[in-house]
Structure formats: C-alpha cells, structure tokens
C-alpha cells in the first residue's frame, strides 16, 4: 500500500527514523557522518569503475584512494568516540584530523590534475612521467615494487563536462576540507566556552 506520493509505510518509517537519528547528532557528528558517506561512495565508485568499466588506476589515483581510506577511518573513529563513549572531544579531534586528510587529498588531486593538463611532469614512477634525472639502483628497485600495468598519470581515461576524475576529486575534497575545518573550528570555540565559562557570542 502506498500514499499519494508513491511511498510505502516502510519507506516513510525509515525516513522518520533517519531524520530523528540525524537530529540527535551534533554538528561535528553530522559532518563526520557526511565525510564517511562521501569518502565511502567515492571509493566504491572508484573500485566499480575499475571492475566494470576497466578504468585502471594510475599511481596518483591510488594515492588519492589511500587518502579517502584514511578519511573513512578517521570519520568512523570520531563517530564511535562520540556515540559509544559520549566524547565530544573525540569528535572534535576527528573533524580536525579529517580536515588535514582532506587537505592532503585535495593537494594530491590538484597535483594529478596539473599532470593531466601537462602543467608539470608526473612522478618518475608514474608511467609516462619519465625520470627527472639519471636512474639509480634505488629507482629501479622502486619501479619493480610499483604497479606494472598502471597507465600514465597524464592519460585521462574518463571525464564529464571536461572534468576528469581527479578534477572531481579535487572539488569534492576541497569542499570536504572546508566543511570539516569549519566544524573543527566551531567545536573548538564550543569547548573553549564550556571550559573557560565564556558567554556564547
């Protein structure tokens, strides 16, 4: 049975429960939940594009994935600290750490985007990037440890509206950096008001 909008009672109940759960979260916890969801979705899309569309990640793509795995862990730790241990300080520390992770992610994406547009060369280990100088024994060993079939970092395998995956990751990571940084600053001000008895402004 559905209502006039086509929603089932189960769907309505789920929406109400989720809305109530979100209302109980602090701003920092909501930001951590959003960061967890977005980084998780980006990682899922990256792995699905690799498995289903055959888009093989380059060295810089893999580095950007590592940043989102780190963000996923930080967000999960912050939510656990806030929900299970009732630690607002843990949530505040987590959004601050997440801001640092997303700053790194945005930096990696910016660098990768510049390589794609040939503003600067890619790293020596990136196929097609080329070594910057004479090849040493250490360079050969590092190359042997790296991915063998990785494409060149300046090879744009997919784009939408002229923006590559690295470009979209740059935009999303920068937005998440701004959001998590804002949450960290707001939580820091709240802790200072509570600790030093300052009046809210």
Query: Average pLDDT of each block of 10 consecutive residues along the chain (201 residues)?
Result: 59 51 72 95 92 86 94 93 78 91 96 89 67 53 55 80 90 96 85 62 47
Predicted pLDDT of residue 201: 47
Confidence at residue 33, expressed as pLDDT on a 0 to 100 scale: 93
CA distance 161 to 119: 20
Tell me the pTM.
Answer: 0.72
CA distance 117 to 109: 12
> Which bin fits 197, alpha (ψ -120 to 50), beta or left (φ > 0)?
left
User: What's the rounded Cα separation, in Å, for the pair 41 and 78?
Assistant: 18
**DSSP letter, residue 127:** T
Question: Domains in the chain, ordered, with CATH?
Answer: 31-121+136-196 (1.20.1550.10)
Rounded Cα distance, 30 and 6, in Å: 29
Q: Supply 185's token pair.
A: 């600053």
């Amino acid at each position: 049975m559905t209502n006039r909008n086509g929603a089932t009672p189960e769907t309505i109940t789920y929406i109400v429960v989720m809305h109530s759960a979100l209302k109980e979260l602090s701003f920092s916890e909501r930001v951590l939940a959003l960061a967890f969801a977005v980084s998780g979705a980006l990682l899922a899309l990256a792995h699905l594009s690799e498995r289903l569309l055959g888009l093989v990640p380059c060295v810089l793509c893999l580095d950007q994935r590592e940043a989102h795995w780190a963000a996923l862990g930080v967000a999960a730790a912050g939510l656990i600290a806030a929900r299970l241990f009732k630690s607002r300080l843990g949530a505040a520390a987590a959004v601050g750490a997440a801001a640092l992770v997303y700053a790194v992610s945005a930096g990696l994406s910016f660098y990768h985007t510049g390589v794609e547009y040939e503003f600067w060369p890619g790293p020596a280990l990136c196929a097609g990037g080329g070594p910057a100088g004479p090849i040493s024994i250490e360079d050969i060993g590092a190359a042997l440890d790296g991915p063998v079939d990785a494409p060149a970092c300046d090879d744009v395998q997919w784009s939408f509206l002229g923006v590559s995956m690295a470009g979209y990751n740059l935009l999303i990571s920068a937005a998440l950096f701004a959001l998590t940084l804002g949450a960290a600053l707001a939580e820091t001000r709240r802790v200072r008001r509570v600790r030093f008895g300052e009046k809210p402004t």
